[in-house]
A and B are shown apart, each in its own frame.
Chain A
Amino acid sequence: MIPTIQKDAYNALSLFGKDIQRFSADKRRVSWRHLWQSEYEEPLAELGRVTGIRGPVIYYPFGGADVHYPFSISPEITDNFCQGTGSFGGCTSIHEYFVRGEGEGYVEKWRQLRSFDLAQDLQAVNHNYRGIGGLIISRLVDTLDAKIEGIYYFIIEQNGGLSFLNGEEVKSLIIDHL
């Protein structure tokens, strides 16, 4: 059973929606998106067919900011549960990534597909922006042409259940402490 997002969970997208909108609308990324589609999407989908990937839930420990493989290998995958070592970051962190990430070369760097996502590069993003959330969101938009609908923060309770944060908790906890 896929965990559900509680109805009273605060959608933090409103805090930096304009940043994402601006990034999504940037025409310079269109050519890169076309390259991704033509060179990588179909081979990965073929890999998913040959290996018998089953959906809708994929579990990806150590996955970090790799958002494009899990969703490209099968259209059946609707939920990717990913563990990583970096913080996601709060809205200041995400805003800063979208404002400075391109000028500081990170956006372009992460468009270069390599054998793996360099741990050092990931640590650099985590360190410079106090989280990898901006990077994750930009890659969802870049590689999958995703339209971001919501960003919800939650904690894992002692029994393994999920408890979503409300507006006040998001604004105080995330902004101040991450």
Chain B
Amino acid sequence: MELVNVVVEFQHCGELKRFWYMPYLILDPRTNTEEAPPEVQSNFPIFAENLDFDTLLIKAANTWWGDCADPSQILKISLDPARKRDARVIADSNVYDPLSYGHHSSRPIWRIGYDPGFVDLNSFSREHSQLWFGYSSGTNFGDGKNLITAEDAIIVSEMEKRKLLSKIHEIKDFTREANKILSDMEIGSE
């Protein structure tokens, strides 16, 4: 038995609208494998692949790639359908990267060389409120054809990790050099 999905139909601003909710446990390593117990089986990826939509919204996705054994599974239900349809994409400018926790690093979702639009949500804010869009108030937007592919995502992620490592090495070298200077100064003053 797969998890049951729901649609809530409601009136809003004089119009009948629907909120469709579909549970899909993408982070369970058994999902859609032969070992999967019934409750983690889902045909949701097939549904997502075929869904005809106009806009993709990515916001506060704290499961983004981080703990998933196969990142392409995440892209399969998110960026791939939007790229295929060239849907409008609106996303948090800081798509959280759990692998870089503590470094405030963001997962890339746009292809290399593409510069998406940017809006600070707080530029529209009222006097007393602060508006957030996911993990930041920054919002990127663009067209789905400019989204990253799974292969690109792995390359960019690796590049970012290397950049980060290189910065850490730079800081370590700087600290070592500074300590040496300090030590020399102390010896000199003696």
Binding site for B on A (CB under 8 A): 1-3, 5, 38-40, 42-44, 46-47, 50-63, 66-67, 69-71, 73-75, 77-88, 113-117, 119, 133, 136-137, 140, 144-160, 162, 165, 173-174, 177-178
Interface residues on B, range: 35 or more
Given A71-B17, A116-B60, CB of A158 within 8 Å of CB of B43: yes
Q: A164's closest neighbor in chain B, by CB?
A: B7
Q: Would you call B179 an interface residue if the criterion is a C-beta within 8 Å of the partner chain's C-beta atoms?
A: no
Given A57-B54, A63-B57, A140-B19, CB of A159 within 8 Å of CB of B119: no
List chain A residues, Cβ under 8 A from B119. 47, 50-51
List chain A residues, Cβ under 8 A from B135. 115-116
List chain A residues, Cβ under 8 A from B90. 51, 53, 73
List chain A residues, Cβ under 8 A from B56. 58-61
Contact partner of A152 (CB less than 8 A), chosen from B6, B55, B77, B117, is B6
Q: How far is the CB of A178 from chain B (nearest CB, A)?
A: 7
Is the CB–CB distance between A47 and B121 below 8 Å?
Answer: yes
Q: B3's closest neighbor in chain A, by CB?
A: A87
List chain B residues, Cβ under 8 A from A71. 12, 17, 19
Q: Would you call B4 an interface residue if the criterion is a C-beta within 8 Å of the partner chain's C-beta atoms?
A: yes
Q: Would you call B22 an interface residue if the criterion is a C-beta within 8 Å of the partner chain's C-beta atoms?
A: yes
List chain B residues, Cβ under 8 A from A86. 23
Is the CB–CB distance between B124 and A55 below 8 Å?
Answer: no
Of the candidate stretches B61-69, B147-155, B158-166, B170-178, the one touching chain A is B61-69
Q: How far is the CB of B109 from chain A (nearest CB, A)?
A: 12
Q: Would you call B156 an interface residue if the criterion is a C-beta within 8 Å of the partner chain's C-beta atoms?
A: no
User: B residues 110-145 with Cβ under 8 Å of A?
Assistant: 117, 119, 121, 124-126, 128-129, 131-136, 139, 141
Complex alpha-carbon distance, A155 and B132, angstroms? 34
Is the CB–CB distance between B4 and A154 below 8 Å?
Answer: yes
17 more CB-based (< 8 A) A-B contacts, given A54-B55, A78-B18:
A5-B7, A39-B126, A47-B121, A52-B141, A66-B60, A69-B57, A77-B17, A79-B17, A80-B20, A81-B53, A83-B22, A83-B23, A87-B3, A115-B136, A116-B59, A116-B60, A153-B4
Given A116-B134, A174-B4, CB of A59 within 8 Å of CB of B16: no
Complex alpha-carbon distance, A147 and B11, angstroms? 5
Interface string of B4-39 (1 = CB under 8 A from A): 111111111101111111111111000000000000
Is the CB–CB distance between B81 and A59 below 8 Å?
Answer: yes
List chain B residues, Cβ under 8 A from A144. 10, 12
Contact partner of A67 (CB less than 8 A), chosen from B9, B19, B62, is B19
Complex alpha-carbon distance, A177 and B21, angstroms? 18
A-B contact pairs, 30 of them (CB 8 A): A47-B119, A51-B119, A55-B54, A59-B48, A60-B57, A62-B60, A62-B62, A62-B64, A66-B60, A71-B12, A75-B15, A78-B15, A78-B17, A78-B18, A84-B24, A86-B23, A87-B23, A88-B5, A115-B132, A136-B8, A137-B8, A144-B10, A146-B11, A146-B17, A147-B12, A149-B9, A151-B6, A155-B4, A159-B46, A174-B4
